[in-house]
Amino acid sequence: MKRNLNARQMQMIALGGTIGVGLFMGANTTIKWTGPSVLIAYGIAGLLLYLIMRALGEMLYVDPDTGSFAKFATEYMHPIFGYLTAWSNVFQFVVVGMSEMIAIGGYLEFWWPNLPGWVPGLVAITFLCAANLISVSMFGELEFWFALIKVVTIVLMIVAGLGLIIFGIGNHMHPVGISNLWAHGFFTGGFKGFVFALAIVLASYQGIELIGITAGEAENPQETLVKAIQSTVARILIFYIGAIFVILSIYPWNELNQVGSPFVQTFAKIGITAAASIINFVVITAALSGANSGIYSASRMTFTLANNGQLPKRFLKLNRHGVPFYAVGAISLGILIGVILNAILPLVYPKAGNIFVLVYSSSVLPGMVPWFVILISQIAFRKQHAEKMATHPFKMPWSPYSNYITLAMLCLTLVFMFINPETRISLIVGLIFLVLMIVIYFVKFGRQKE
């Protein structure tokens, strides 16, 4: 493959993969469970993700390669973990891609109510597949601009919100202040509600590890990766915590359900009459960004599986632009099949919509697999490369103790996801997928590894 991704593109790829539609449509679920203390949940999740990214960065600095964390799992743990990590990543991003393409159909109903929902999904996936096939730099440039639209919108919303909070702009020059943060309770759901929210907040950061998959196609990978990792987590924290701080300061947390989209309302308050159309355009680009990242990530993991002999060798074939075109085509087709089934199944089986919701939410557990793998692999990596650690310029802080603490926190959130009736079924579906892939591995490849 060709190393055509620069630091500017890689930073935006990581931002774009993490800042999704959920923030724009309102983080109402987590706020409902824990109130304004959700800000602390975002801070804790950000710290955990920073440590995960530093563990990944330490390994990538020595070995920047495509499909990085699946490769590390194979080398430093066991081939089954590499297999499981790659398939978890493929499953997660194909499911996310399906949901984003289906969502685009819903968003376009805002302007064209009679447009069949599958048409925008078909057009969008065709466009994204073509862009990914042209070159990796085309993917990077497209993702840069998709992510930039999201980032600029969040920054403008934070600035507009602070104008309302501090100066009363849009509120007849009467500052709103920040008393809403505590006036109606802070830890409103107790410890249990807080950890329920933390689990979903952690899930909202999924995709940040995408920066590791880009390593094999990065210009000057060591320098580029260090810059990208150092800046990405801080920026994500600023955008998430900044936006939710503004929302919770302006609107009482227990009245958010009546507000609709806080982004739309905040822009409308300062006199932007086209706020609803603007935010609708932004969430469409956010959906395109999510699917674009999904095609890239899942196709590179498919390439890694083929490289390990766990998929047919045709998935290793590159086009003249250095892109694995069979892998890109297969992932795009998988997402498209999901879009078509979403349109057809409810006509045949009216309850099919509920099945799709379960499948979409079931990506949370497989999406966490790379994080567990990164943290465990890095401990073994450090032992095997002890001679390089003395002069390593980008070591993970406080390892291995930070690894154990982060792993314990991830396990705690999974336990509370099982306790929470609203997330239990999606966790079980994700677990069934992982068990199924383990069985398939031992049936197909177990004897080869003995």
CATH classification of the domain holding 72: 1.20.1740.10
27 pLDDT above the threshold of 80: no
User: Cα–Cα distance between 371 and 367 in angstroms, integer?
Assistant: 8
Does 369 have pLDDT greater than 90? yes
Q: Would you say residue 281 lies in a domain?
A: yes
Give exposure, 58-89, as e/b (b: 16+ Cβ within 10 Å).
Answer: bbbbeebbbbbbbbbbbbbbebbbbbbbbbbb
Give the C-alpha distances (Å, rounded to integers) separating 175 from 166, 170, 246, 322, 354. 5, 9, 13, 55, 44
Are 200 and 55 spatial neighbours (Cβ–Cβ below 8 Å)? no
Whole-number pLDDT of residue 445: 86
- Residue 450 falls within a domain, yes or no? no
- What is the average pLDDT across 18-46? 81
Lowest mean pLDDT among 38-42, 300-304, 362-366: 362-366
Domain of residue 314 covers 7-445
8 Å CB contact between 27 and 186: no
> 318 pairs with which residues across the strands?
324
- What is the reported pLDDT for 359? 72
Separation of alpha carbons 250 and 262, rounded Å: 9
Mean pLDDT for the stretch of residues 383-409: 94
pTM: 0.88
> Is residue 63 situated within a structural domain?
yes
1: in domain = no
Domain-embedded: residue 2: no
Query: What span, in angstroms and rounded, lies between the C-alpha atoms of 363 and 92?
Result: 5
Residue 67 confidence (pLDDT): 64
Could you tell me the two tokens for 381?
Answer: 């990596």
Sequence-separated (6 or more) residues with CB below 8 Å from residue 58: 378, 381, 382, 392, 394, 395, 396, 399
> How confident is the model at residue 2, as a pLDDT?
67
- 53-62, 242-251, 254-263 — which is least confidently predicted? 254-263
Q: Cβ distance 29 to 163 under 8 Å?
A: no
pLDDT of residue 295: 92
* 162-166, 173-177, 317-321, 349-353, range with the lowest pLDDT: 349-353
Give the pLDDT confidence of 403-428 residue by residue, as tens digits: 999 999 999 999 998 998 888 988 99
pLDDT at 293: 84
pLDDT digits (tens, 9 = 90+) for 175-211: 999 999 999 999 999 999 999 888 888 877 887 787 7
User: Is 321 exposed, middle or buried (CB count within 10 Å of its CB: 0-12, 13-18, 19+)?
Assistant: middle
pLDDT at position 450, please?
46
Output the pLDDT for position 58: 94
Give the pLDDT band of residue 1 (cuts 50, 70, 90). low
Higher pLDDT, 137 or 212: 137
For 148, the token pair is 């930039």
- Domain assignment present for 242: yes
Specify the number of domains making up the chain: 1
Cα–Cα–Cα angle for 338, 342, 343, nearest 5°?
125
A 10 A CB-CB count for 240 gives 24
Predicted local distance difference test score (pLDDT) of residue 68: 78
Distance of alpha carbon 223 from alpha carbon 243, whole angstroms: 30
pLDDT (0 to 100) of residue 86: 93
Arithmetic mean of pLDDT, 110-133 = 91
Among positive and negative, which fits the CA dihedral 371, 376, 379, 380? negative
Whether residue 215 lies inside any domain: the answer is yes
Cα–chain-centroid distance for residue 75? 25
Q: Residues 143, 292: contact at Cβ < 8 Å? A: yes
Q: Phi/psi zone of residue 158: left (φ > 0), alpha (ψ -120 to 50 degrees), beta?
A: alpha
pLDDT tens per residue, range 159-172? 999 999 999 998 88
**Are the C-beta atoms of 238 and 155 separated by less than 8 Å?**
no
Confidence check: pLDDT of 113 > 60? yes
Instruction: Average the pLDDT over 122-140 and give the result.
Output: 91
User: DSSP assignment, residue 164?
Assistant: I
- For residue 301, the Cα-to-chain-centroid distance in whole angstroms is 16
Mean pLDDT score of the chain: 87
